[in-house]
Amino acid sequence: MLRPPLVRKSWRDDRRAVLGWAVGVTAFTLIYAGFYPQFKSAAELKQDALPQGMLDFLGVAEMVSPAGYLQASIFGFLGPVLVLLCAVTLIARTIPRPEEDGGMELLLTVPVSRTRFARQRLAAAGAAATGVAALPGILLMILVPAIDMDIPMANVAAASVGLILLTWCFGGIAFLTGAVTGRRASVLAVTGAIGVATYMANAFSDMSDAVDWLRWLSPFHYFIGTDPLHTGWHPGHLLLLVAVGAVTTVAGVILFDRRDVGV
């Protein structure tokens, strides 16, 4: 299939970064999931040692069962942090990097409209980020039955797709920020601040009924708050993540088309 020239160029430019993130996420998933039989005893000790308030903050009901262990180790914190960092870093290269490095003028000489330029750059970064975010799910589809973890594969698929859609949600926010500001630092700062704030909102909502409403403001609730490894698919929650990613992406393309671009 013939790929647009800006997509091919973006993939050539980002191939080392994408490969590095893919290797890191693969190693992380293999180590934590593949050694579950060996880590199970440590997980029991860790669960006994942690106060219930800390477990609530981490969004982990228990860490001993296969589903509880995967939620605590893969989907609860480190997994989302890795794939979101990858996505935000790659998307910060779509518009802000050439604008800051002075290469935007050359890129805009390609005979495409500004909106098509933005779409092709985003398509390249989005496809790479989606591929990296899909790795934990792909590997778990092999590891879960191989090491006899008692989790329905449909539930593993639900959590894995949720991780991808969480990446789309924050990827859209990152793209909108980059399209408006043209600055990588702004993309990292704004997306990082929103990520931390909404993660904390979801965590604190599990600790007190007085702030229970905060969970509805957090993308992390729509990703993992429904405990998909135990309860399976929640299409409404997942569609909301898609909607946030789509709206912010479209807004980013429109605002980039109207903005004075530094060349």
Cα(210)–Cα(89) distance, integer angstroms: 36
Query: How confident is the model at residue 54, as a pLDDT?
Result: 67
Secondary structure of 165-200 as H, E, C letters: HHHHHHHHHHHHHHHHHCCHHHHHHHHHHHHHHHHH
Query: How confident is the model at residue 181, as a pLDDT?
Result: 94
Q: What is the pLDDT of residues 83-116, one digit of tens each?
A: 999 999 999 999 988 888 877 766 666 677 888 8
User: 154: helix, coil or strand?
Assistant: helix
Query: How confident is the model at residue 244, as a pLDDT?
Result: 97
Q: What is the pLDDT of residues 31-40, one digit of tens each?
A: 989 888 877 7
Query: How confident is the model at residue 261, as a pLDDT?
Result: 72
Is 70 exceeded by the pLDDT of residue 228?
yes
Is 60 exceeded by the pLDDT of residue 1?
no
Query: How confident is the model at residue 203, as a pLDDT?
Result: 87
Query: How confident is the model at residue 209, as a pLDDT?
Result: 81
Q: How confident is the model at residue 262 (pLDDT cuts 50, 70, 90)?
A: low
Query: How confident is the model at residue 166, as a pLDDT?
Result: 97
CA distances from 67 to 123, 131, 165, 203 (A): 33, 23, 20, 19
Is 70 exceeded by the pLDDT of residue 47?
no
Cα(125)–Cα(112) distance, integer angstroms: 18
Query: How confident is the model at residue 167, as a pLDDT?
Result: 97
Per the listing, tokens 């408006």 go with 180
pTM (2 d.p.): 0.91
Query: How confident is the model at residue 64, as a pLDDT?
Result: 77
Query: How confident is the model at residue 59, as a pLDDT?
Result: 65
Is 70 exceeded by the pLDDT of residue 60?
no
Cα(120)–Cα(94) distance, integer angstroms: 9
